[in-house]
Structure 1
Amino acid sequence: MTSSLAPDAETLVIGGGVVGLAIAAECAIAGQETYVIERNNAIGQEISSRSSEVIHAGLYYPAQSLKARLCVEGRQRLYAYAKDRNVAFRKLGKLVVATSPTEAETLNKIAEKAKINGVDDIRFMDAADIHALEPEIAAVKGLFSPSTGIIDSHGLMQALETDVTDHRGTVVLGTAVRHVRRRPDDLFEIEMSTGCEIANVTARNLYVAAGLGMGELGPRLPRAAAYTPPPLYFARGHYFALRGGRPFKRLVYPVPVEGGLGTHLTLDLEGNVRFGPDVQWIDRVDHAFEEDNGLRLRQFEQSIRRYWPSLPDGALTPDYTGIRPKTSRQGEPARDFEIHGPKDHGIPGLVALYGIESPGLTSCLAIAKYCVTLAREC
């Protein structure tokens, strides 16, 4: 039964990170009255503000996966959007380096996968080529990706928020979603709390991009009896900053490891160097920086010196942590983005996003477009 009453909003998005804001902007620009509900007191306070801010090219992901497709499309759209909206970015390029013949074989596999994914600008480098680009780096072989870059993630989110509010949308902060139900008139009714106040809002379309909160919120969403939302697991990553000089001009990654892309070297827009993330599986959301009596620092130094042997003693200082929401357990192969629409859970107008980790930032605009298309499917 279709409701004869107008909903409070045509579209409601739960989650004010970069992906939620991108979805909301896509809907608002299309003319839908759009609300964003965010539980924190500012946008992007969880995953989006604790990333390496890298714009990925799309090298690593399985062919035809959502990660591959949306990363390649999203990277192109993101560069164009940043340029149009004056969001700071730099297309620095990235070196993926092998420090042994075995790792060199892995580079070959990465290159094959990248080309299948449509990344057609990568090139191999030998030790001399690498030294010419980054004299401090020691490697036997490298893969250079010129279309990898970095972006001001906070500036990006502010631009997306402006897109929402400039098109009759509203971003509601400090508000937690308590319950979601599908009414007999086909509208979604969302119960939310702000402090001690409880209110209800109705919407025709619902996008749930709650990031780290999806493990708790997913089971509370309306669904057909045969559908079960995926569980969520947390992988915390620590970052160390480099004191002193700025000896690098490009991003440098080792070959990937289980759960992530290894202890990579990234730069911010001011040229400051940081290293990370590592992978620490945790049972609950906790952003504490765990130094572990210096063991973590020693592990970082050992990992970094495989490709930067002259890392000075005492040059690293603890910086920050980020948490990746994963739908695979420790030891299992990494899973694709899980973006579930009506064909998955049986509820028209509902799209729920699980396990949106890297390359979520790169893919955000493409994810938004994909979600809007998915919501129309029956």
Structure 2
Amino acid sequence: MLACLGRKWMRLSTMNLKPTWNFVNAVDASRTIVRGISGGGAETVAKERVDTVVIGAGVVGLAVARELSRRGREVLILEAASSFGTVTSSRNSEVVHAGIYYPPNSLKAKFCVRGRELLYRYCSEYEIPHKKIGKLIVATGSSEIPKLDLLMHLGTQNGVSGLRMLDGFEAMRMEPQLRCVKALLSPESGILDSHSFMLSLVGEAENNHATFSYNTVVLNGHVEEKKMHLFVADTRFSESQCEAEAQLQLIPNLVVNSAGLGAQALAKRFHGLDHRFVPSSHYARGCYFTLSGTKAPPFNKLVYPIPEEGGLGVHVTVDLNGLVKFGPDVEWIECADDTSSFLNKFDYRVNPQRAEKLYPEIRKYYPDLKDGSLEPGYSGIRPKLSGPKQSPADFVIQGEETHGVPGFVNLFGIESPGLTSSLAIAEHIANKLLR
């Protein structure tokens, strides 16, 4: 049984998954020896041609691998961790977003709405646990009503169906523990078991002959003859991945950089790629706390406050097992250098004292929250493209039309609603690369 911060994962041992790509055998089987760039110097490494490489086995990378393999490509997924989905994809609210918050015609708006449709369809077809429980975005004071009206307007423009503005008494009739003056009802919002979803994507990709190589880090690369050459190493061969020597050079026809928190740092390690097109990185840690001391969940629906800078506010979610979670908060963190993000050297510990700041925020809409009822849960890091006091940035999906390298796509800033958007992002990338 794999575990991530106490959250349940499905047993991989019960699945008839194919063996992952054997890194050492691939090196031994390569017949051509070339001079490569590795760890800051030239090294002799084995060379192997492959069709398609997806860097990163988070939910978006898995969706991309699944979609490209469905369309007949031979896909190799490289993941630095020992399994899939161990970083941002397993440290979120597991919410299926409707598409309300995002500027019309933005990638976030388009992919969230399209992705939600694809995700519900996928969950139904493949029996992934999910539930369309609906969401209430609440105004707890009259000064917040104009912001609620704006969200209604944005959601309508984005094509979100079923949105309805409720007076406070209507919302509180639905949720007796709630206190608000007005609320926006989103019946299309829901929750899912993200781990079951990712495991299904892995299985589908492998059934389409995609292969996975875990504990495999892409150290750097360079552009040669209009192809992105990748230098990779087994992460277990060195305590410091950045100091590891490349053991294999891969020459793919197609490459998708879906490295999440390390996507920008990795892109800066690609020689021949104009780094002017690599956006700056910002990171916001969000902590989640679980509710204790209650016999039943206080809410049946998702309850969200008005969005705050850097996030959607400290909201309440109920997972499929009935566990009530509050979060995430927003803590802007400094990443000392690109190496830290490249190696995912972030602090994921949850400081119990942060709960003290959450109580007054939560009590604005849940006044009966008892002292001492919030227990530390888990935290996640948002890979953001905008920092404090800056306007929220859109997803960046960067292809040849921007950087000039054929068959190469960078994914930057894939934060919320990345889980909801994953299948739509994959659809878009497959169309872009295979047209």
- Same fold, TM-score > 0.5, yes or no: yes
Q: Deviations over 1:218-237 (max 9, x none)?
A: 21235554843112111000
Secondary structure of the 2:360 match is helix
Structure 2 matches for 1:83-232, cutoff 5 A?
83-184=124-225, 186-194=226-234, 195-196=236-237, 198-221=247-270, 223=272, 225=274, 227-232=276-281
State yes or no: 1:278 paired with 2:291: no
What is the identity, as a one-letter code, of the residue corresponding to 2:311? G
What is the identity, as a one-letter code, of the residue corresponding to 1:252? V
Q: Distance in 1 between matches of 2:48 and 2:209?
A: 15
Q: Is the 8 A contact 2:350 2:379 kept in 1?
A: no
Q: Distance in 2 between matches of 1:215 and 1:281?
A: 18
Secondary structure of the 1:287 match is coil
Aligned counterpart for 1:253 among listed residues 279, 295, 304? 304
Q: Distance in 2 between matches of 1:131 and 1:211?
A: 39
Secondary structure of the 1:8 match is strand
Q: Deviations over 1:200-227 (max 9, x none)?
A: 2221000000001113102123555484
Aligned counterpart for 2:370 among listed residues 291, 312, 315? 312
State yes or no: 1:334 paired with 2:392: yes
Q: Distance in 2 between matches of 1:367 and 1:240?
A: 30
CA shift, 1:313, in A, is 1.2
Q: Distance in 2 between matches of 1:179 and 1:226?
A: 13
CA shift, 1:244, in A, is 2.7
Q: Distance in 1 between matches of 2:327 and 2:376?
A: 11
Secondary structure of the 1:278 match is coil
Q: Distance in 1 between matches of 2:253 and 2:76?
A: 11
Aligned counterpart for 1:266 among listed residues 317, 322, 326? 317
Q: Is the 8 A contact 1:93 1:145 kept in 2?
A: yes
Q: Distance in 2 between matches of 1:320 and 1:56?
A: 21
State yes or no: 1:27 paired with 2:76: no
CA separation of 1:287 and 1:133: change in aligned 2, threshold 3 A? farther
Secondary structure of the 2:169 match is helix
CA separation of 1:227 and 1:286: change in aligned 2, threshold 3 A? closer
Q: Distance in 1 between matches of 2:139 and 2:168?
A: 10
State yes or no: 1:350 paired with 2:401: no
Q: Deviations over 1:37-59 (max 9, x none)?
A: 00000100110000100000000
Aligned counterpart for 1:324 among listed residues 375, 378, 382? 382
Q: Distance in 2 between matches of 1:159 and 1:273?
A: 25
State yes or no: 1:287 paired with 2:328: no
CA shift, 1:172, in A, is 0.8
The more displaced of 105-114 and 366-375 is 366-375
Which segments of 5 or more consecutive residues in structure 2 lack a partner in the other structure?
1-31, 33-46, 238-245, 336-344
CA shift, 1:281, in A, is 0.8
Secondary structure of the 2:89 match is coil
CA shift, 1:181, in A, is 2.0
What is the identity, as a one-letter code, of the residue corresponding to 2:155? A
Secondary structure of the 2:277 match is coil
**What stretches of structure 1 move > 3 A for 4+ residues in a row?**
5-8, 222-227
Q: Deviations over 1:73-106 (max 9, x none)?
A: 0000000001111111111100000011111111
CA shift, 1:9, in A, is 2.4
What is the identity, as a one-letter code, of the residue corresponding to 1:70? F
Secondary structure of the 2:111 match is helix
Q: Is the 8 A contact 2:134 2:189 kept in 1?
A: yes
How high is the TM-score relative to the length of structure 1? 0.94
Corresponding residue number in structure 2 for 1:365: 423
Q: Distance in 1 between matches of 2:314 and 2:381?
A: 15
Secondary structure of the 2:268 match is helix
CA separation of 1:319 and 1:288: change in aligned 2, threshold 3 A? same
CA shift, 1:271, in A, is 1.3
Q: Is the 8 A contact 1:59 1:113 kept in 2?
A: yes
State yes or no: 1:299 paired with 2:340: no
CA separation of 1:226 and 1:235: change in aligned 2, threshold 3 A? closer
What is the identity, as a one-letter code, of the residue corresponding to 2:121? A
Q: Distance in 1 between matches of 2:397 and 2:167?
A: 40
Q: Distance in 1 between matches of 2:75 and 2:275?
A: 30
RMSD, aligned α-carbons = 1.7
Q: Is the 8 A contact 1:342 1:374 kept in 2?
A: no
Q: Is the 8 A contact 2:350 2:377 kept in 1?
A: no
Q: Is the 8 A contact 1:289 1:318 kept in 2?
A: no
Which segments of 5 or more consecutive residues in structure 1 lack a partner in the other structure?
none
How high is the TM-score relative to the length of structure 2? 0.82
